[in-house]
Homo-oligomer: A and B are copies of this chain.
Amino acid sequence: MFADIASFHAWYTEQRRSQKSRTERIALEALDGWTTEPSTGNLVHRTGRFFSIQGLDVVRSGRAIDAWQQPIIVQPEQGILGILVKEFDGVPHCLLQLKMEPGNVNGLQLSPTVQATRSNFTGVHGGRAVPYLDHFTTPRVGRILSDVLQSEQASWFLAKRNRNMIVQVDQDVPLLPNFCWLSFEQIAALLREPNLVNMDTRTVLAGAAALRTPRQPPAGNSFGAALARSWTAGYALHTTVELLSWFTEAKNRCVLTRRLVPLTGIHGWSHRRGSVVHDRGQHFAVVGVAVEAPDREVTHWHQPMFEPRSQGVIAFLVRRLRGVPHLLLHARTETGALDGVEMAPTVQCQPDNYSLLHPDHAPTFLHHVLAAAPDRIRHDSVQSEEGGRFYHAQNRYLLVEVEDDFPLDVPPDYAWVTPRQLTEFVRYGNHLNVEARSLLTFLGFYKEDNE
């Protein structure tokens, strides 16, 4: 337990010093354990397991660019992302670990108690047993607070999902090295820091967004006070039935067709100097890395990763209606998602990808986010995406509160929803995408500057 955030940082600094690891870029052809399938050019592991990189053909996406081809990560197996919660002196704490991932810009980030692929926990790696895993398998002694199969980055994964679990226990739990107990309030503070709370932790914590509700919601007109009051009750512009209908309508409208194609020869991409790169240098590249990590269950390995070419922007516009913050949700065609359309942030893009297009094709509402006055920005932090598959993938996450004269009337694939309504939808898979879940966590663990 940490008495304050400074003690956490002292421990974090110490851990970064002691957990040695090294990630080195190497050519895809040099990856040990991986082969290029002769007939397709797909990158596959020699065991046929873990994941593969194939080509995806997308048509009728309904986006500014309607059809394209791209590399995609295919990882059919579902892992477990689990966080253990326990009260100490009546205060709930989460058990997190400082874990090295090869794609992290800063080596160690705060990961869930358990972050395991099926290969991890069935022993395919030949690695060590996954600690604390028995709390997340049946039969268990703890109490389930949240348990749902959630999608991951649909621009880079095909139909990838992980089981997101929060389990509360009462009995003693041994504290292993690299692990720590953090209170909800400490997590709220750490979520404001860049690249510290990893994506897996953020998506799992979305299931706890409403659990941090104070028993006595604060009075006052600040954004934090209005937000704190909104979790349990209050006005909503649309009923849940109306929002589910809006979402169904968007799915019904979607005529997206996608199919796997050989990685070799996908249009707009080339294999150059050991990587697969986009011909205009946009989006991302498929690169190889060699990893040494003495503290991981497997201590060295090679793997391909996706390396984004630019930083993304992920943001909710927020407008108060009758005092209740409403988020502008986007029913977004998600090319890799199992169900084609998911509930997404107002804005989610790599702005650089649009630099070559006519300004009319800029993502809707991007301007409102980028041009927001500093005093309208409620959250602004740069965070990492999953460091096990993505190399130095960073996005800027924002919550921007618009003025009261911002139009309520929005395009048909957008809708105003309350944070409380999001906590209903997040219980069901295939609803909130991973980017919206990160933002829901920033809302659930919101902390004002002066708190």
Contact = CB atoms under 8 A, between A and B. Distances in A.
A252 interface: yes
A138 B244 contact: no
Contacts of A240: 427
Contacts of A69: none
A11 interface: no
A163 interface: yes
A169 interface: no
Contact of A147 (B248, B257, B431): B248
A148 B338 contact: no
Given A138-B412, A338-B338, A339-B338, A147 B249 contact: yes
A365 interface: no
Nearest to A207: B241
Contacts of A76: 257
Contacts of A78: 251-252
A77 to B, nearest CB: 8
A430 B248 CA distance: 12
Most B Cβ at <10 Å: residue of A240, A251, A252, A429: A252
Interface string A140-169: 000011111100000000000001010000
Interface residues of A, number: 30
B145 A241 contact: yes
Nearest to A163: B252
A149 B252 contact: yes
A428 interface: yes
A341 to B, nearest CB: 10
A13 interface: no
A299 interface: no
A427 B429 CA distance: 13
B252 A144 contact: no
Given A147-B248, A338-B338, A430 B427 contact: no
Nearest to A76: B257
Interface string A360-392: 000000000000000000000000000000000
Interface of A: 76, 78, 80, 138, 144-149, 163, 165, 240-242, 244-245, 248-249, 251-252, 257, 338-339, 412, 427-431
